[in-house]
Structure 1
């Protein structure tokens, strides 16, 4: 029986040092061998498996919420590009979507993605392109109103060209931001992954106009060799 994710950050509990070596195999690229070895030795990958999460990315939203506290009981949350579902798994207990915290407000988790996502207890998952003309109307209808949080861990498919990939993910992040402007409640929060690389200035400028505070964070679980960071914009002006 798979372990039920608790949404709690258990960093430092029961971790152990591993050094698993992966031998090169005929037909496998050196880069693939390195990736496999990194995965096998990644403590966050091991924790995700042990704690029942669908990927190491779960710990990124965990760490961001531990710092900024936007996943509170009763919050209505939209997770854009939610596959495979790790962020939803973290959000469910934190917003009390299953009503398991007596005396606390019950929140709502709404995940949307282009692809089909395996069900998650406490989350409502829809197969939807959030860039469709009426996507915001559908989401507000499913929520029964505005959202308190819009979050996105989306990344465009890698082309292998660093500058192109940077521009693609920034375009995706900007689209997510405009979607958030349409569905967020006043005072709401927008959280999204971005890539450092020079094209994020316009997004930062836009968010500072729409929110009272905008922070750029690289959580501990984000790999040090990755150019990813996360923008956390709070206090939507409406």
Structure 2
């Protein structure tokens, strides 16, 4: 039997307009609408180049990338999704299961992209939050640092990052890191992101 809090969350989730819209439009989660809004606000146009979706499962961001840019002949089969968890296949997306820091995963990724640099990195990764601020802030910063190190290694100079993170005592440190290494860095809170959530998204453009 579900506990009272679990029932409350489930009822709220079922009645969420973005959950209903995701089901209607065939997206795997409501997170799709967060990325759609960010792409529209930032007027991000996917051009020739490889696209990486970090923490991709269940696949809603990969779905958005495919759906929004599937008609671009340069993009098809150049979307690579990575996650520790399994993900059901999506046409036009090459999926690698594993930790992107793992040597075997790095080797597989290098085989797929060759000597090419990545043009776009999307990360909807989130740490397991404990509810203890001091613990969670460390985990949040660690995730941001991992994405940054990945970008430093693979991203092209004219590349873009869209990264999920969270407000907290470590947020200014994360922003400072990206502002130090990117020419344009902005913070976005899409409408689809629940107001009760501290999650925000950083858009960083053009490596210095």
Shorter-chain TM-score above 0.5: yes
Q: Give 5+ residue unaligned stretches, structure 2.
A: none
Per the TM alignment, residue 135 of structure 1 is displaced from its structure 2 partner at its CA by: 4.5
* Residue of structure 2 equivalent to 1:52: 26
Q: For residues 137-194 of structure 1, give each alpha carbon's deviation from its aligned partner in whole angstroms, at most 9, with x where no partner exists.
A: 5424312311101111011123232442232122112111111111001110111111
State the superposition RMSD in angstroms.
Answer: 1.8
| Higher relative contact order, structure no. (Cα contacts within 8 Å, ≥ 6 residues apart) | 2
- Tell me the distance in 2 between the aligned counterparts of 1:75 and 1:160: 39
Take 1:138 and 1:202, find their aligned partners in 2: how far apart are those partners? Answer: 32
Alignment deviations for residues 44-65 of structure 1 (CA, whole Å, 9 cap, x no partner): 0000000000000011111111
SS in 1 for 2:126: coil
Aligned pair 1:197/2:168, yes or no? yes
Whole-Å Cα distance in 2 between the matches of residues 58 and 206 of structure 1?
A: 27
| Per-residue deviation, 1:225 | 0.5
Q: Answer 1 or 2: which has greater helix percent.
A: 2
CA distance in 2, matches of 1:140, 1:118: 22
Q: What is residue 74 of structure 1 aligned with on the other side? A: 48
> Pairwise mapping of residues 1-238 of structure 1 onto structure 2 (< 5 A)?
27-96=1-70, 100=71, 105-107=74-76, 108-133=78-103, 135-136=105-106, 138-144=108-114, 145-237=116-208
Structure 1 residue ranges without an equivalent (≥5): 1-26
| Secondary structure in structure 2 of the residue aligned to 1:230 | strand
Instruction: Give the deviation of 1:204 after TM superposition.
Output: 1.5
Larger CA Rg, structure 1 vs 2? 1
SS of the residue corresponding to residue 191 of structure 2 reads coil
Q: Is the 8 A contact 2:121 2:161 kept in 1?
A: yes
Q: Larger deviation: 154-163 or 105-114?
A: 154-163
Equivalences, count: 206
Other structure's SS at 2:65 match: helix
SS in 2 for 1:198: coil
